[in-house]
Chain A
Amino acid sequence: MESLLHTDWLLMLSQSLPLLVLLATAVLVLSAGLCGCCSRTTNHESRITIYLSLIGIIAAAVLVVPRWQAATTPVQLSLWYFDRLAWVAGEIILGATLLVVLLSSSYLRARQFIKAEFLALVLLGAFGMWCMVATQHLLMIFLGIEILSLAAYVLAAYARAEPTSIEAGLKYFLMGSVASAFLLFGIAFLYGGTGSLDLLAMQKLNIMSIEGAERLYLLIGVASLLVGMAFKIAAVPFQWWAPDVYSGAPLPVTAFFATGVKAAAFLALWRIAVGVSVVTGPAWHSLLWWMAVSTILVGNLAALTQDDVKRMLAYSSIAHAGYALIALVIAPSELHIALAALLLYLLGYTVMTIGAFAVLIALNPAGSERTSLADLTGLGVRRPGLALLLAIFLFSLAGIPPTIGFFGKYFLFQAAVAAGEVKLVLIAVLGSVISVAYYVRPIVVMYFRTDAAPLGNIHPPLSRGVRAVLALTLLAVLALGLFPSPLLQWLWASVR
């Protein structure tokens, strides 16, 4: 109780304002939806919820800016921990959420899904993600994960009429619960081993002082924690749920899972990894090394045989998680560069993946989703604009210059080579070559199989939200691919 009295509540309020704005927006959107429900679901109501969400997200993003500038020294307020990483992560999460909200508008309307609840869940999920990163406390990380996961389970099953969506929701729920159990288990043991839940305190521990049973608790705790987080980021060998969940969930939700959720989980894992690396030593390193290698190879090889673009992107998301794990592998030797590389990679991955999903959403304006390769046949002739966009996003995912995807990989590989992980980089490069083989499959059917193109019918114009997302992601992929300097400077300033 005493600590509550000593807390500077005003400072806490002013620091965590962006997060609170996000939370408040979620509540507002939900209540606006409730009011709308009383007067039947109308277009008017749904538009209000969309605008409310957008305003809330943008307001939060704007509020972050002065806090980022002021955060040259981290601010710790009870469970919160606001350093520049927390704010940058916030911007990435908010950006992904913004794009997903823009994408979901027309998707939901055409399928007559209830909007307010969907948006509220997305916002709540974003709040949870941010909580995961804006802290150095294991309990807070767990709370954030749970807030996010509860929203995510419902979102995965949002297309109630589709059996695959129900399956996705159920699978995600079961797997997520197992992962949470592991996390909690790990946190408990870690507490038993170190007597603390604070990652900053763990960094300062002297490894030699922990012996006997406590050392065992510590190792069990770290191992369980890693298993739990590996579930969340879908790293091999805990990736089995991801393809089903990703391909079953509605398209905007999958985009959300693959980008924002994954980015947040990675950054939380980063916090944990930095926190416990002092006490774990080389075993942790080689564990992550093998996890990165197997995730890259399994993700890429499994993606080769997928005939559905959405499912292929799910596997590609596993593979990309493997690349991002490289940053964690090299964290002990190149802390700052590794973090900058991780952030750049996650940012790039978020932008190009949402772009690719936006094209798929544009191709599926209504009804059941059709995302198989065969559905893309001759797209280069039928819808040249969308085909070109998809091609650019796929090439970016494959890491072909001059795109953000290339720079993300490049920066990461450079950091890894600087850290002496040449073998790891060579394997990652091999994985990239494999990945090109499946990323070009949609391109082949879009552009090279035009003879078998089904006759084009009249297409409804793209909704404003989808168009905005396509424009934004394209701009980001190419502009940041050609001139990454400002972004690099920003990230560089954020990690020191």
Chain B
Amino acid sequence: MLPWLATNILTATIFAPLLGVVLLLLVPRRHEAASREIALTVSLVTFALSLWLALRFGAQSSHDAFLLYVAIPWIPELGVHYRIGLDGVSLSLILLTTLLTPLCVLCAWRDIKARRKEFMLLLMLVEIGLNGAFASLDLFLFYIFWELMLIPMYFLVGMWGGKQRIMAATKLLLFTLVGSLIMLVAILYLYLAGGKTFDVMQLYEVALPASTQLWLFAAFALAFAIKVPIFPLHTWLPDAHTEAPTAGSVLLAGVFLKVGTYGFYRFAMPLFPAAVLAAKPLFMILAVVGIVGGALVSMVQPDVKRLIAYSSVSHLGFVMLGLFALTPESVQGAIIQMINHGITTGALFLMFGMLYERTHTRQIADYGGIAPQIPLFTTLFVIVSLSSLGMPGLNNFVGEFLILLGTFRTDSVYAIIAATGVIIAAVYLLWMIERVFFGAPRETIGDGIVVAKLKDVSGREFALLVPLLVLIVWFGVYPRTILDCTAASAKNFISLVHRAPWILDKSDHESRTTNHEAR
């Protein structure tokens, strides 16, 4: 068993939650409460497996190619293989997923009262979909996992969400599906044009004509841009994040959106380098609009969850900016920002979920002056918010700084405008904190909740937050943990995107090579 596990550790990590699905199906309805323990155990086992995975990954000497690579024919008639493997980025994202899932189970412990079994089951399915998507090196396989994570998430939002849940869930489903079905056509086309293979590594080497690349890139980019989401395709996000139950919001913001940016990183950009260079200005502009616009819209939100949701639009704009700036610093920054945004925004949603459990209101105006009653909670919330707004010494600063630095070197205007997003982030977060936690003390808040009866952070809640807080500080102080892990991947990514000189016009090509030499 153990040697088998060691060789198939990646497969085991991806499909470990399936064990939970089976067990949960077997739980009779009257013992439904046990479903929480099952889900927690299974998700912790998955986390342990992913740590082992990280160890095995770290033990490998070369970091140039994909590690722990497995390829088994699945549907040979269609050229589909079960082809998985890891680089530093996918490893980090898998670790993030497996870390957040047990936290989601814990935060749903008391939050979810109806149909717990189904809830946990769907969480497990989302986890499979996410991990599978991060590990897939076969376009077809990726597509399957991509859809596999969507359907359970649709149910999570639709069944346990807030009042507008049906609208939010339907929007989430339809928006994502529009993109993914068009991407499916592009995948088909690429399969036929690229020598009848779904193997990403082989497709990296295919040289398609620039016009074909543009169309295919547009299709892929549409699917991923909806998921990220990039302005102006972001409108599903505030609804879905706001209406989702806390665990759903955490997973959505923490990892779900990262599949979009990861898709750009792994598929859309390296597969179509010529198109990337052509579309770069457009995406830089959209990223900057997302950064500033998302931050500005965030500022005026009356609803805390909506505020955090729009802040995601802003933060993921940074990731896109970093990826498209295509300098080593900015790409590294983008990768780190992906992870850090997952940690920080996940923590923000978690903490607000705890507050909501106590007060049952999301409106900022309903709050005020509760800090003296719940000092520890306030402190922790402020720390997480500071991390989110990019305070030096905490995790988000590293990513944003690298992105801005890298972008400034080549596209300084974008970097300067994007930097204002950081400032606005400070405004909306601090202003929100002021209105929610500080100000004149009140007797009651919201719908007649007595402030004096509010409880501070409980042991369970604290335990839940500790791992995230530790990571927030750790990655802020010692970012080399991720930097080392992902440096090779970032380098590979840039060389892949820059591999297409045959379609560039000459001057552009020359300026690019001089740029390289200048470094």
Listed in ascending order, the chain A residues whose CB lies under 8 Å from chain B are 380-381, 395, 400-402, 410-411, 413-414, 417-418, 422, 425-426, 429, 432-433, 436-437, 440, 444, 447-450, 483-485, 488-489, 492
Contacts and interface: CB of A to CB of B under 8 A. Distances in A.
Nearest to A444: B166
Contact of A426 (B147, B166, B173, B185): B185
Interface residues of B, number: 31
Given A418-B192, A429-B185, A440-B170, 15 more contacts: A395-B151, A400-B151, A413-B185, A414-B78, A417-B185, A417-B189, A422-B185, A425-B185, A426-B182, A429-B181, A432-B181, A433-B178, A433-B181, A485-B77, A488-B78
Given A417-B188, A429-B185, A440-B170, A400 B75 contact: no
23 contacts: A401-B147, A402-B144, A410-B78, A410-B184, A413-B188, A417-B188, A425-B188, A426-B182, A429-B181, A429-B182, A436-B173, A436-B174, A444-B158, A444-B170, A447-B158, A448-B158, A448-B165, A484-B78, A485-B76, A485-B77, A488-B78, A489-B77, A492-B77
Contact of A447 (B147, B159, B185, B192): B159
B494 to A, nearest CB: 31
Interface in B407-437: none
Interface string B168-204: 0110011001100110110011011000000000000
Contacts of B182: 426, 429
Query: Among the interface residues A400, A411, A425, which one has the most CB atoms of the partner chain B within 10 A?
Result: A400
Nearest to B145: A401
A265 B184 CA distance: 30
Contacts of A484: 75, 77-78
Nearest to A488: B77
Interface of B: 74-78, 115, 143-144, 147-148, 151, 154-155, 158-159, 165-166, 169-170, 173-174, 177-178, 181-182, 184-185, 188-189, 191-192
Contacts of A444: 158, 166, 169-170
A448 B77 contact: no
A118 B115 CA distance: 43
Contact of A448 (B166, B178, B181): B166
A450 to B, nearest CB: 8
B144 A401 contact: yes
B173 A414 contact: no
Contacts of B178: 433
A483 B185 CA distance: 21
Contacts of B189: 417, 422
A448 B154 CA distance: 11
Nearest to A441: B170
Query: Among the interface residues B158, B165, B166, B177, which one has the most CB atoms of the partner chain A within 10 A?
Result: B177
B178 to A, nearest CB: 5
A440 B170 CA distance: 8
Contacts of B144: 401-402
Contact of A400 (B147, B165, B188): B147
Contact of B188 (A414, A436, A449, A450): A414
A contacts with B: majority SS: helix
B47 to A, nearest CB: 26
A440 B173 contact: yes
A169 B77 CA distance: 44
A182 B6 CA distance: 68
A434 to B, nearest CB: 9
Contacts of B181: 429, 432-433
Contacts of B151: 395, 400
A401 B141 CA distance: 10
A433 to B, nearest CB: 5
A380 B159 CA distance: 10
Contacts of B76: 485
Contacts of A488: 75, 77-78
* Nearest 8 pairs of A and B residues by beta carbon: A488-B77, A448-B158, A429-B181, A417-B188, A401-B144, A401-B147, A448-B166, A414-B188
A413 B184 contact: yes
A417 B190 CA distance: 10
A250 B91 CA distance: 55
Contacts of B185: 413, 417, 422, 425-426, 429
Contact of B191 (A401, A414, A422, A436): A414
B502 to A, nearest CB: 24
B143 A401 contact: yes
Contacts of B155: 447
B177 A433 contact: yes
A186 to B, nearest CB: 35
Contact of A402 (B115, B148, B169): B148
Contact of B184 (A381, A429, A492): A429
A237 to B, nearest CB: 26
Contacts of B177: 433, 436
Contacts of A450: 159
A485 B181 CA distance: 23
A422 B190 CA distance: 12
Contacts of B148: 401-402
A422 B115 CA distance: 44
Nearest to B114: A450
Query: Among the interface residues B148, B158, B184, B189, which one has the most CB atoms of the partner chain A within 10 A?
Result: B184
A85 B41 CA distance: 52
A444 B173 CA distance: 12
A261 B165 CA distance: 40
Given A401-B143, A417-B192, A436-B177, A448 B78 contact: no
Nearest to B189: A417
A464 B515 CA distance: 74
Contacts of A492: 77
A433 B169 CA distance: 15
A381 B165 CA distance: 18
Contacts of A485: 74-77
B27 to A, nearest CB: 13
B316 to A, nearest CB: 24
A449 B167 CA distance: 12
Contacts of B159: 380, 447-448, 450
A436 B170 CA distance: 10
Contacts of B174: 433, 436-437
Query: Among the interface residues B144, B147, B151, B181, which one has the most CB atoms of the partner chain A within 10 A?
Result: B181
A484 B177 CA distance: 23
B370 to A, nearest CB: 31
B168 to A, nearest CB: 10
Contacts of B184: 410, 413, 429
A336 to B, nearest CB: 13
B508 to A, nearest CB: 29
A400 B158 CA distance: 18
A5 B134 CA distance: 70
A488 B74 CA distance: 12
Contacts of A447: 155, 158-159
Contacts of A413: 184-185, 188
A484 B74 CA distance: 9
A380 B118 CA distance: 11
B346 to A, nearest CB: 25
A92 to B, nearest CB: 19
Contacts of B170: 437, 440, 444
A276 to B, nearest CB: 29
A401 B192 CA distance: 21
A443 B185 CA distance: 26
Nearest to B166: A448
A418 B192 CA distance: 7
Query: Among the interface residues B74, B75, B144, B191, which one has the most CB atoms of the partner chain A within 10 A?
Result: B75
Nearest to A492: B77
Contacts of A440: 154, 170, 173
Nearest to B140: A410
A437 B176 CA distance: 12
B431 to A, nearest CB: 35
Contacts of A418: 192
A417 B78 CA distance: 14
